[in-house]
Amino acid sequence: MNKKNIVLWYLFAASLFVLQGLYAEDWLAKYDNIGEKSIEELRLLKNEIYARHGKMFDNSDLNQYFSSQVWYKPDKNFSDSRLSGREKDIIVNIVTLEDKQEQSQSASRIRVLEDKVSELEKQLYGLEIHQAEIEKPNREKDDRRKRLKENYKPTQTSVIIWVDKDNTIHMGDIKNDTGSNAMLVIIYNGNTVYESGGVAKSFKYKNDKKGVYTVYLEQFIDGGYKVISNVVSYKIK
């Protein structure tokens, strides 16, 4: 090879090197402003960095997509060591953006679920006895035993209670002409009293402790709480 050809070859090699550098810089330039990208776009951009170094993917959609790119040269010997420092920094940035978007999406889903809860459902949630569990002093326990024994039931109020096999407590035929005084759902196991305000058609007492439970309704009438429903006993085996 004469001197002229050698010079031309070096010029060609140098030009190719510069062009490759410009090409590399060109495709990485799109990573400069990715803050507004969707989580799907971010994941594709992240995987493109790996794909440009020959990584083969388990995901068939990714393999199909990158196989359609003229620059993709799959290499079973791919290693992360092929990534440049800038590419590794970009991947770290993308992962951070993905995490933020996932957290934001989770928060949005929770807000949507909360918005879908109607006022009636909120009242039913309020009747989850395990969320309003109160252990009453002995004196109040004795008062409840006395009220149960008297089983005071005014004629203007009629509430029927029954319990299913799955310990769901149902109420029906509710007629209340005693004003707006709150009713208390009472569950009593002979030792601890559980209560919650309000009345619903049915609710589940979420307690898996074995034992016999008594359930009834009370209402504040004429200066004191009165039993205003039938009294039902049921057993959790």
The enclosing domain of 182 has a CATH number of: 2.60.40
Q: Is residue 224 part of a domain?
A: yes
What secondary structure letter does DSSP report for 68?
T
Mind listing the pLDDT tens digit of every residue in the chain (237 residues)?
Answer: 555 454 444 444 444 444 444 444 566 777 777 777 777 888 888 888 898 889 988 888 888 888 888 888 998 898 888 888 888 888 888 888 877 776 666 555 444 444 443 433 344 333 333 333 333 344 444 555 555 444 444 444 455 666 666 666 666 545 554 444 556 666 666 666 666 555 555 555 555 566 666 777 776 666 666 676 666 666 666
Domain hosting 139: range is 132-236
Are 180 and 104 members of one domain? Answer: no
Of 116, 144, 176, the last residue of a domain is 116
202 and 155 within one domain: yes
Query: 81 in a domain, yes or no?
Result: yes
Residue where a domain stops, chosen among 87, 116, 145: 116
The total number of structural domains that make up the chain: 2
CB under 8 Å to 74, separation ≥6 — which residues? 54, 55, 56, 66, 67
Query: For residue 27, is it within any domain?
Result: no
One domain, residues 163 and 231: yes
